[in-house]
């Protein structure tokens, strides 16, 4: 999946400078994302930076352009400039892994509460 910008874009321009691969530009009437560049920020950030800064939440994952984390990371490596630090995949550089970390943390907390509840212990702090 690459991100796309929907018609709700108010052309504030906030997303253009935060894209790590220079994949956002104005087509004259609206800001657009180049799907051949967008990595969903995989390889760079744990969340899509354009979506993070958008004031109207109009940068969304394109449901018609499904790509795996591996495909997006390969694109990121190709777009990473020569001499730049080597990219690595981690929960800090992939929303796929960040999502899994969040799910894992939630599951661990719930299991912990269940165990402590079954023992009659006080609830662990988060
Ligand atoms: S998701 Fe990341 S890589 Fe894709 S356009 Fe937005 S800022 Fe650029
Ligand atoms: S931040 Fe959102 S509203 Fe502003 S130009 Fe980018 S997509 Fe459009």
pLDDT for 78: 97
pLDDT reported for residue 27: 94
How far CA 44 is from CA of 29, 36, 79, in Å, comes to 28, 16, 11
- From 9, 35, 39, mutation site for ligand 1 pocket: most ligand atoms within 8 A of C-beta: 39
Residue closest via CA to ligand 2's atom 8 equals 9
Q: Tell me the three state secondary structure of residue 86.
A: coil
Burial environment of residue 56 by CB neighbours within 10 A (0 to 12, 13 to 18, 19 or more): exposed
Report which of 66, 54, 52 is spatially closest to residue 2, judged by C-alpha positions. Answer: 66
Distance CA 26, CA 57 (A): 17
CA 107 to ligand 1 centroid distance, Å: 29
For domain 3-119, say whether CATH 3.40.640.10 is its number: no
Predicted pLDDT of residue 1: 63
Predicted confidence at residue 101, as pLDDT, reads 76
Query: Do residues 18 and 49 make contact, with C-beta atoms less than 8 angstroms apart?
Result: yes
Give me the torsion for CA of 18, 23, 73, 88, rounded to 10°.
-30
Mean pLDDT per 10-residue section of the chain, whose length is 126 residues: 92 97 95 97 98 98 93 97 94 93 70 68 53
Residue 122: predicted pLDDT: 58
Ligand 1 near 41 CB (within 6 A): yes
Q: How far is CA 36 from CA 4, 24, 30, 32, 44, in A?
A: 12, 11, 18, 12, 16
**Atom from ligand 1 closest to the CA of residue 51:** 6
pLDDT score, position 112: 66
């Amino acid at each position: 999946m690459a991100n796309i910008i929907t018609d709700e874009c108010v052309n504030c321009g906030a997303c253009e400078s935060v894209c790590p691969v220079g994949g956002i530009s104005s087509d004259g009437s609206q800001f657009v994302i180049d799907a051949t560049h967008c990595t969903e920020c995989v390889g760079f950030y744990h969340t899509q930076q354009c979506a993070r800064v958008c004031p109207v939440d109009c940068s969304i994952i394109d449901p018609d352009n499904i790509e795996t984390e591996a495909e997006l990371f390969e694109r990121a490596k190709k777009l990473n400039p020569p001499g730049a630090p080597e990219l690595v995949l981690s929960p800090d550089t992939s929303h796929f892994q960040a999502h899994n970390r969040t799910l894992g943390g939630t599951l661990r907390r719930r299991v912990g509460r269940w165990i402590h509840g079954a023992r009659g212990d006080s609830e662990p702090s988060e």
